[in-house]
Structure 1
Amino acid sequence: MKRVVLGLFAAVVLHACAAHEKTGDRAAAVGDWKAAYASYRQALASEPDSPEIKLKFDAARTKALQDARQRAQTCAQVNDWNCALAESDFALSVEPGNAEIASFRAHAAQRVAMAQLDTAVEQAQQGQYAEAASLMDRALELSPVPEVKAHAEDVRRIITTQGRAQADRYLHEGNFIAAHELAQLVLRLDASASAWAQNIAAEYEHFITEEVERLSREGDAARAQRDWGRAQQSYGAALSLRQGGRAAPLEAYVRHMALADQRIAGRDWNGAAEAYHVALRTGQDDGFANHQLERVQLRPYRFVLHSVLVTPGRPDGRAWVGASNDIFTRLANRVTQMARQRGMTDLVKDLAMSIPHENRPQLRIEVHHPDGMHLTTQGRHGIYTDYGAEFVAIANAFDNRPVGFRVYIDGPHGSELLGSVDVPVHELVERRDVSLEGASILSLRLSTVSDSRQPGPYGGMAHVVPAPPPGARPPGARPPPPGRGHVASPTH
């Protein structure tokens, strides 16, 4: 196994060597000796015993060195000292011990440094103190000769004198951050400004403390309104001024609360729950995250269809079934009026039960389950009927899937849709006991309770089986009522 590994490694090295050599050959063919030198050097490092590669490397090295020296001289003649410095740096990397190149490089570095200092003087006079100081530092790194140091002292003097005056103006204007930054720059260049810089630092610290607290209070107000985005912005601004403090855990709290909202919008219940858990771990929850965590947890719920009360008659006043008369009309008007004014009271139920038998339709309710099942109750006579039918589904307080209820009147000639009501699952989960209304439905009473069963069970209802295609019905069989399928026997 070891031999195999070593063989593979050798193959990789040889492949890399060949690739570098080919790259060097292409560069040499067009006279790009710097690139050829670099490629042959890599190839030689991979295969140091190759006489062919060593020959190519030596030739490229000589050519690259000649080109660099020639270009350096050409650049110097036109006062392009940055170019001259770059070329001499390359030449020294090829031949480090060459005193002539080193001397030329030192002269080029001095000229570049002096030009940088000229620019630094202009920047300092224009109030660009940080940029001027940066150029001054780079110039001193390039060339430590006395001429450069003397010119750098001019830059330092302008920065410390004019910068100190500008920092005082910033302080007077209330721009404490700019005053402090400039004072620290002046202090770095002039140790004698220590006491002055300390006074500005004290003013700055006082301002930062008050500003952090102000921003944190803004975050508190937004957090109280559950405006997580605005709260995060305020706490983040406080942290940008000073890390740590009370804003740090609060920013983490509102950030994860906002994340939970985003995941809820995408129906990522598990992701939302995790975000609430992280928010709780910050120790900043006032009970809301814990409440939301409870609401987002998926669990089985039992939805119970208790009863339905419909209008005694059609919109035009006629009874749903049977002939209308004065007694029916008076009772119908009374039931409808009291139900709409007082809701489902015992008196309304008694009045509904007083409707003449011949005017009591056979009511049946079909349920469109949130998981896609289509269920139905048995038909029962009366404008008010009890069912006690139920089904179980997995849901939470954010589930916006609709549950549909369709109330039908069954008769000898088929089924007639009396009215329908749709309600989102989360409303049933949150409210627990509801009475829905719609069109001719005066009250459809439902309740919701937690259940230990898995989704799917139902009671007091049966599946509505889709009707088969016309060709699949046995000869002579009657088609199902319009808009419905076959109904199995309800379970109890």
Structure 2
Amino acid sequence: MKRVVLGLFAAVVLHACAAHEKTGDRAAAVGDWKAAYASYRQALTSEPDSPEIKLKFDTARTKALQDAQQRAQTCAQVNDWGCALAESDFALSVEPGNAEIASFRANAAQQVAMGQLDTAVQQAQQGQYAEAASLMDRALQLSPAPEVRTHAEDVRRIITTQGRAQADRYLHEGNFIAAHELAQLVLSLDASASAWAQNIAAEYEHFITEEVERLSREGDAARAQRDWGRAQQSYGAALSLRQGGRAAPLEAYVRHMALADQRIAGRDWNGAADAYHVALRTGQDDGYANHQLERVQLRPYRVVLRSVLVTPGRPDGRAWVGASNDIFTRLANRLTQTARQRGMTDLVKDLAMSIPHENRPRLRIEVHHPDGMHLTTQGRDGIYTAYDAEFVAVANAFDDRRVGFQVYMDGPNGSELLGSVDVPMRELVEHREVSLEGRSVIALMLSTGGDGRQPGPYAGMAHVLPPPPPGTPPPGRGHAATPIP
């Protein structure tokens, strides 16, 4: 096994060597001796005992060195000192001990440094103090020549003198951040400015403390209004001025509250719950995140269909069934007026129970749940009838899926749809007691309670088999659910 591995390694090395050699050959063929030199050097590293590669490397090295020296001289003649410096750097990398090249390189570096310092002077005079200081540092690193150090001192003097005056103007204008930054720059170049810079730093710290608190208060106000985006922006601005403090956990809190809202909008209930848990761990919750966490948790609920009250008769005044007479008409008018004025009261129920038996329709309610359940109650006589039928469904306080209820009148000739109402599951979860109304439906009473069972069980109802005949109107939509006080 060891021999196989060594053989594979040798094959890889030889392949790499051949590739580098071919690359060098191509570069040499077009006179690109720098590239040829680099490629042959890599090939020689892989195969140091190859006379052929060594010859190619030596040739490329000589020609690359000659080219670099010639180009450096040409660039110097036209005062392109950046080019001259780059070429001399390459030449020194090929022949580090060449004193002539080193001397040329030092002169080129000095010329480049002096040019950089000229630019730094211009930047400093234009108020670009940080840029001027950075360029001055680079020039000093590039060349230790006395002329460079002298010119750099001119730049330093301009920055410290003019920068100090500008920092004072910033301070007078109330721009404490700019004043502090410039004062620190001046101090880094002039130790004698220590007391002056400390005074500006004190002003700056006072400003930052007040500004952080102001931004935090803005965040507090937005948080109280549940405006998570604006609160996060304010707390984030405070943290950009000073890390830590009370803004840090508050920013994390509102950020995760905003994330929870986004996940709720996408019906990602588990993701929203995770975000609320993280928000709670910040220790900044005033009870709202905990409340929302309770609301977003999916739980089984028992939905009970308590009762239904329909209008005593048709829109034209005729009874649903049987012949209309004066007694029916008086009872129907009084019931309708009382229900409109007072809602579902005991008097309304008594009036409903007073409707003559021959005018009482047989009512049945079908339930259409978005989970796919299609259930029906048994038929019962009366414009008001109680059912206490129920089913179990999983939902939460944000579940906007709608449950539809269709009220049918069954008769010897089939079923007639009297009215349809529907309600989002979230309203049943939130209000627990609701009354729905719609066309010909005065009040359909529902109640909701927590249930330990899994979704699916039902009582007092049966599955609709077969489905309604073709042409049966779908469940009604758009009728608002009214919580029962």
Q: Which residue number in structure 1 is paired with residue 381 of structure 2?
A: 381
* C-alpha displacement of 1:26: 3.6
One of 456, 476, 481 as aligned partner of 2:474: 481
Change in CA separation of 1:3 and 1:336 when aligned onto 2, cut-off 3 Å: farther
CA distance in 1, matches of 2:478, 2:296: 36
Task: Report the more deviating stretch, 65-74 or 156-165.
Answer: 65-74
- Post-superposition Cα deviations, 1:279-304, rounded to whole Å, max 9, x if no partner, equal 11111111111111111111111111
- Spell out, residue by residue over 1:408-447, the C-alpha distance to the aligned partner (whole angstroms, 9 max, x if none): 1122222222111121111110111111111211111111
Distance 1:427 1:468, change over 3 A: closer
**Higher mean Cα deviation, 84-93 or 223-232?**
84-93
Matched residue SS, 1:486:
coil
Deviation at 1:6, TM superposition (A): 5.1
Q: CA deviation at 1:42?
A: 3.3
Inter-partner Cα distance in structure 2 for 1:333 and 1:211 = 69
TM-score calculated relative to the size of structure 2:
0.93
Alignment of 1:188-203 (within 5 A): 188-203=188-203
Give the drift of 1:387: 1.3
TM-score normalized by structure 1? 0.91
Question: How far is the alpha carbon of 1:125 from its aligned partner?
Answer: 0.8
Counterpart-to-counterpart distance in 2, 1:116 and 1:103: 20
| CA-to-aligned-CA distance 1:183-213 (integer Å, 9 cap, x gap) | 0011010000000000000000000000000
Q: Deviations over 1:19-72 (max 9, x none)?
A: 444443443333333233333333443444444444443333333222222221
Structure 1 window deviating more from structure 2 (408-417 vs 255-264): it is 408-417
**1:368, distance to aligned residue in structure 2 (A):** 1.1
Structure 2 vs 1, CA of residues 36 and 401 (structure 1 numbering), >3 Å: closer, same or farther? farther
Q: 1:419 to 1:77 in 2, by over 3 A?
A: same
Work out the CA distance in 1 between the residues paired with 2:48 and 2:22.
16
Query: Retained in 1: the 8 A contact 2:434–2:484?
Result: no
Aligned residues of 1:465 and 1:488 also touching (Cα < 8 A)? no
The 2-side partners of 1:481 and 1:290 are apart by: 39
Q: 1:48 to 1:421 in 2, by over 3 A?
A: farther
Deviations 1:232-286 (A, max 9, x none): 0000000000001100010011001001111111111111111111111111111
Q: Give the superposition deviation at 1:79.
A: 0.8
| Partner deviation per Cα, 1:169-189 (whole Å, 9 max, x = no partner) | 111110101110110011010
Summarize the Cα distance change of 1:490–1:192 in structure 2 as closer, same or farther, 3 Å threshold: closer
- Tell me, yes or no, if the aligned pair for 1:467 and 1:484 is still in contact at 8 Å: no
Higher deviation after alignment, 80-89 or 61-70: 61-70
1:469 Cα offset (Å): 11
C-alpha separation in 1, matches of 2:214 and 2:32: 62
1:344 aligned counterpart, secondary structure: coil
Distance 1:462 1:39, change over 3 A: farther
Asked if the contact 1:465–1:485 (Cα under 8 Å) also holds between the matched residues in 2, the reply is no
CA distance in structure 1 between the aligned counterparts of 2:475 and 2:307, rounded to whole angstroms: 25
Mapped contact 1:299–1:396 kept (Cα < 8 A):
yes
Q: For the Cα contact (< 8 Å) 2:114–2:148, is it kept in 1?
A: yes
> How far has the Cα of 1:74 moved from its partner?
1.5
Structural mapping, 1:87-486, within 5 Å:
87-465=87-465, 467=467
In the TM superposition, 1:39-54 aligns within 5 A as: 39-54=39-54
State how many pairs are aligned: 483
Q: Distance in 2 between matches of 1:490 and 1:123?
A: 72
Contact 2:436 2:480 in 1 (8 A): no
The answer to whether the 8 A contact 1:366-1:405 is kept is yes
Between the aligned partners of 1:97 and 1:322, the Cα distance in structure 2 is 121
* 1:347 CA drift (Å): 1.5
CA distance in 2, matches of 1:488, 1:8: 78
CA contact (8 A) 2:437 2:481 kept: no
In structure 2, relative to structure 1, the CA distance for the partners of 1:302 and 1:334 (3 Å cut) is same
Q: Call closer, same or farther: CA 1:406–1:49 in 2, change over 3 Å.
A: farther
SS in 2 for 1:453: coil
Distance 1:468 1:213, change over 3 A: closer
Q: What CA distance in whole angstroms lies between the structure 2 residues aligned with 1:192 and 1:372?
A: 82
Q: After the TM superposition, which residues 74-93 of structure 1 pair with which residues of structure 2 at under 5 Å, given as runs? A: 74-93=74-93
Query: Bigger shift: 322-331 or 19-28?
Result: 19-28
1:375-415 deviations in Å (ceiling 9; x for gaps): 22122221111111111111111111111111111222222
What whole-Å deviation, never above 9, does each CA across 1:110-164 have from its counterpart, x for those lacking one?
A: 0000000001111111111111111100000000110000000000000111111
Q: Which secondary structure state, in structure 2, belongs to the residue aligned with residue 56 of structure 1?
A: helix
2:322 and 2:171 mapped to 1: Cα distance? 92
Kept in 1, the 8 Å contact 2:82–2:112? The answer is yes
Change (3 A) 1:366 1:49: farther
Contact 1:218 1:234 in 2 (8 A): yes
Secondary structure of the corresponding residue to residue 489 of structure 1: strand
Structure 1: give runs of 5+ residues left out of the alignment: 471-479
Distance 1:491 1:458, change over 3 A: farther
Q: 1:139 to 1:451 in 2, by over 3 A?
A: same
Deviation at 1:104, TM superposition (A): 1.1
Query: Could you tell which deviates more after superposition, 102-111 or 63-72?
Result: 63-72
CA distance in 2, matches of 1:313, 1:15: 97
- 1:443 is paired with a residue whose SS is strand
- Say whether the 8 Å CA contact 2:117–2:135 is kept in structure 1: yes
Partners of 1:460 and 1:491 within 8 A in 2? no
Evaluate the alpha carbon distance shift between residue 468 and residue 172 of structure 1 in structure 2; reply closer, same or farther with a 3 A threshold: closer
State the Cα distance separating 1:2 from its structure 2 match: 5.5
Instruction: Provide closer, same or farther for how the CA distance between residues 367 and 109 of structure 1 changes in structure 2, counting only shifts above 3 A.
Output: same
Distance in 2 between residues matched to 1:339 and 1:250, nearest whole Å? 51
Structure 1 residues 122 and 323: alpha-carbon distance in aligned structure 2, compared to 1, 3 A threshold: same
Question: Is the Cα contact below 8 Å between 2:421 and 2:479 reproduced in 1?
Answer: no
What SS does the corresponding residue of 2:447 show, helix, strand or coil?
A: strand
Q: How big is each residue's C-alpha offset from its partner over 1:288-327, in whole Å with a ceiling of 9 and x where there is no partner?
A: 1111111111111111111111111111212122221211
- When structure 1 is superposed on structure 2, of 253-262 and 48-57 the one drifting more is 48-57
* Larger mean Cα displacement after TM superposition, 213-222 or 413-422: 413-422
